[in-house]
Chain A
Amino acid sequence: MLLYCTSFAVYLTIQQKLLNMGMSPIYLNTLCYTFAGIFLCAYLFFRNRSAFVIKSKKGLAYGIVIAIVVSIFADMLVLYGLRVGTPITWSLLVCSAPLVTYLLAIPLLKEPLTGRKFLVVVLSILGATLVIYLPGTGIDLKHGAPYFIGAVCFFGIANNLSQLAFKYI
């Protein structure tokens, strides 16, 4: 678990460093996923070639939609946010993704809304507001917060789509 959190932190820090060097977010995103795709394809080619066989067309369609939502929309917003904001703001705001997932699951997956869960949602919104609040200036929308909030919403959509995709995969 510690290794996961560390790799997440290293990933964010490297991205921030590359963006600080003047690299465009669109190139950074494309190149990172290109190399990741090449490594993964090479690994699967030598270890498990059956992974390339498409077993369910609906599963594939969900996979493509989820990949577009996460890798293109959400990650692009994160990178544009990191260009003007900090990894700290993003790492704090991304913690509210489970709650956005839950809020979206209420209409999409017919999740029940209880009083305690409603309290938790209110607390989380309060926390997110505090993260982007600058004393004396008000809510700081200049340092990447709108991008990060948009990315959290896309992650919430992707999580709900993943839940639906598990019916076919």
Chain B
Amino acid sequence: MVTASVVLFSLWPIFHVEIVSVQWGLLIVNSLVILLANFLVSYVIHKAGAMYFAIGTNMSPLIVSLLSIVVLRNWPTWMQVLGGMVIVGSIMLFQYVAKSRK
């Protein structure tokens, strides 16, 4: 009942004038991709463990940057590349510290 009321309540924007020209196909693909990504989080953690997942997610900025360059023509700045490397490096160090403590 709760799920049904939430779904019905959230359907109201469909009838809103502002979004009549929306690309529905892209929107539905986006929803399916959200579900796929969430399913894969659980699947990878179940099959390979949280540590492997946490290390693996560090490559997501690389793929996002590549896709962003190809599709949106957005290029990262040198500072962003450097900052990203520092963040990813510090996360890997954090995981190494956590693993060595175990």
Which residues does chain A contribute within 8 Å of B97, judged by CB atoms?
Answer: 114, 116-117, 120
The contact sample of 11 A-B pairs, CB cut-off 8 A, is A4-B37, A6-B63, A8-B60, A18-B27, A30-B10, A32-B30, A39-B31, A124-B87, A130-B82, A132-B83, A134-B79
Give the nearest-CB partner of A89 in chain B: B80
* In the assembled complex, A84 has its CB within 8 A of some CB on chain B: no
Pair A5/B60 contact, Cβ less than 8 Å: yes
CB-CB nearest 9 A-B residue pairs: A130-B83, A127-B86, A131-B83, A127-B87, A35-B31, A91-B64, A123-B90, A1-B56, A4-B40
Q: Chain B 27-39 against A: per-residue CB contact (8 Å), 1 yes, 0 no?
A: 1111111111100
Inter-chain contact count A-B, CB under 8 Å?
217
Pair B23/A13 contact, Cβ less than 8 Å: no
Pair B34/A18 contact, Cβ less than 8 Å: no
Pair A38/B65 contact, Cβ less than 8 Å: no
Q: A14-B30, A130-B79 are in contact. Are A8 and B37 (CB under 8 A)?
A: yes
Besides the contacts A10-B67, A31-B10, what 6 more A-B pairs have beta carbons closer than 8 Å? A13-B71, A14-B33, A26-B13, A36-B32, A88-B64, A123-B86
Which residues of B (39-64) have their CB < 8 Å from a CB of A? 40-41, 44, 48, 52-54, 56-64
Give the nearest-CB partner of B72 in chain A: A16
Which residues does chain A contribute within 8 Å of B66, judged by CB atoms?
Answer: 9
Chain B residues in the interface with A (C-beta under 8 A)? 3, 6-7, 10-11, 13-14, 16, 18-19, 22-23, 26-37, 40-41, 44, 48, 52-54, 56-68, 71-72, 74, 76-77, 79-80, 82-91, 93-94, 97, 101
A126 to B66, CA, bound (A): 24
Give the nearest-CB partner of B43 in chain A: A4
Which residues does chain B contribute within 8 Å of A91, judged by CB atoms?
Answer: 60-61, 64-65
* In the assembled complex, A164 has its CB within 8 A of some CB on chain B: no
Q: A7-B40, A12-B64 are in contact. Are A95 and B94 (CB under 8 A)?
A: no
Q: A34-B7, A35-B28, A120-B94 are in contact. Are A7 and B37 (CB under 8 A)?
A: yes
**How many A residues, CB 8 Å from partner?**
70
Closest-CB distance, A51 to chain B (whole angstroms): 10
* In the assembled complex, A11 has its CB within 8 A of some CB on chain B: yes
Give the nearest-CB partner of B38 in chain A: A36
Which residues does chain A contribute within 8 Å of B77, judged by CB atoms?
Answer: 134
A105 to B86, CA, bound (A): 22
Closest-CB distance, B84 to chain A (whole angstroms): 4
Which residues of A (109-166) have their CB < 8 Å from a CB of B? 114, 116-117, 119-121, 123-124, 126-135
